[in-house]
Amino acid sequence: MKILAAMSGGVDSAVATARVVDAGHDVTGVHLALSQTPEAVRAGSRGCCTIEDARDARRAADILGIPFYVWDLAEQFREDVIDDFVSEYAAGRTPNPCLRCNEKIKFAAVLDRARALGFDAVVTGHHARLQIGEDGAPRLTRSVDEAKDQSYVLAVLTPEQLRYAMFPLGDTTKEQVRKEAAERGLSVADKPDSHDICFIANGDTMGFLRSQLGSQPGEIVDGDTGAVVGTHDGAYAYTIGQRKGLRLANPVNDGKPRYVLSIEPVQSRITVGTAEQLDVTTVVAKRPVWTHGEPPAFPWRGTVQMRAHGGLAEATAEVDADGRLIVGLLTPARGIAPGQAIVLYDGDEVVGSATIISASA
């Protein structure tokens, strides 16, 4: 097969590429230049798409003896991922930029271009397992390394996109990946993993949003009394369930810590309350994507994940007349934010995903 390997400059994509080369495929490496300041350097494990990452990817390709190119997708990344991130926060929602990047960049723009150039598949270093059944339907399942599993951020992909994807590392732990990289002489064997939001290299999400949206001061009010208990510089800097950084000026009578319950961007108002008031049992989500191409039989029962690093919750699900996914949680959950994805699992297998629009008790 003719394979395009997306090489980020990290250890995972380097080893994934090496494995498809070993398998005898005709492999070409490509590094995605997504940063509008590629001359910048990494800040430890923060940031990505720097000139350093491009050089690391090129060195790995040289060791593996494969052709290597750099594709400049910075403008599209800005439009589809960064601008979406900013607009979602401005609307009071909490987006997942990694999920959006997978959907819009790595498995839309890149895959479309790869197919147009005659490639049969795109390989990445994601930690997830993927098989195509005899019926042609994809089976996306969790990685054997639960701590590194990335099936949640891949669950947004359509069956057609998954048919042309390869994830060689799904059966391997991160420790084993690093060991294999060292044995292959890949210089990225000990390179730190990137984390947090790749285009906010200093980790200051609030500062980044303020630079994009400006100061939008407003009130923080108590959900029970309506009393003003603090002020803020922008509702966009908060997310449901947040406790830290509230800077409440007026103490509450019961002495309990307060959490963000709701965000009203038009009024620039944050409502806070107790941890117990965060409990939700019903989640409504839009635009469901079914991994097998068809929805499961309803009423459905299985487990759901509602945050990239969140745990699983037992749940039931239906689809209403408007095509929205209605999920009932068997045990109340907290901190469920609109804009995040909810992913349905049958055991370790991904059933589908949708974007959360509301959650209630």
What lies within 8 Å, CB to CB, of 327 at 6+ separation is 282, 283, 284, 285, 304, 315, 316, 317, 342, 344
Residue 41's pLDDT is what?
46
Across the beta sheet with 2-6, the strand order is 68-72, 26-33, 2-6, 121-123, 165-166
The continuous run of DSSP H or E covering 342 comes out as strand 341-346
Question: What tens digit of pLDDT does each residue of 139-169 get?
Answer: 999 999 999 999 999 999 999 999 999 999 9
Catalytic residue among 48, 49, 98, 198: 198
**Mean per-residue pLDDT, 21-28:** 98
Task: Give φ, ψ of 301 to 5 degrees.
Answer: -140, 135
Cα(125)–Cα(5) distance, integer angstroms: 9
Residue 38's pLDDT is what?
53
Question: Can 49 be counted among the known catalytic residues?
Answer: no
pLDDT over threshold 90, residue 117: yes
95 preceded by cis ω (within 30°)? no
pLDDT over threshold 50, residue 204: yes
- Residue 65 has a CB neighbour count (10 Å cut-off) of 8
Domain 279-360 architecture? Beta Barrel (2.40)
Class of CATH domain 2-190: alpha beta
Task: Give φ, ψ of 146 to 5 degrees.
Answer: -60, -35
pLDDT over threshold 50, residue 42: no
Cα(327)–Cα(342) distance, integer angstroms: 9
Residue 48's pLDDT is what?
58
Same fold, 216-277 and 279-360: no
Residues 329, 335, 336, 338, Cα dihedral to 10°: 160
Residue 45's pLDDT is what?
45
What lies within 8 Å, CB to CB, of 47 at 6+ separation is 35, 40, 194, 198, 199, 201
Output the pTM of the full model. Answer: 0.92
9 touches 53 (CB < 8 A): yes
Q: State how far Cα 244 lies from the chain centre.
A: 22
Cα(190)–Cα(169) distance, integer angstroms: 17
The three-point CA angle 20-343-86 to 5° equals 90
Q: Looking at the domain 216-277, which fold is it?
A: SH3 type barrels. (2.30.30)
Closest residue by Cα to residue 101 from 89, 85, 120: 85
162 touches 138 (CB < 8 A): yes
Catalytic residue among 48, 49, 98, 101: 101
338 touches 284 (CB < 8 A): no
Cα(262)–Cα(272) distance, integer angstroms: 7
163 touches 132 (CB < 8 A): yes
Residue matched to tokens 């900013």: 86
Question: What tens digit of pLDDT does each residue of 78-106 get?
Answer: 999 999 999 999 999 999 998 999 899 98
Question: What tens digit of pLDDT does each residue of 216-272 get?
Answer: 999 999 998 899 999 999 999 899 999 998 888 876 667 788 999 999 999 999 999
Question: What tens digit of pLDDT does each residue of 293-349 get?
Answer: 999 999 999 999 999 888 899 999 999 999 999 999 999 999 899 999 999 999 999
Residue 52's pLDDT is what?
86
Domain boundaries, the chain: 2-190, 216-277, 279-360
Any idea which of 18-27, 92-101, 190-199, 320-329 has the lowest mean pLDDT? 190-199
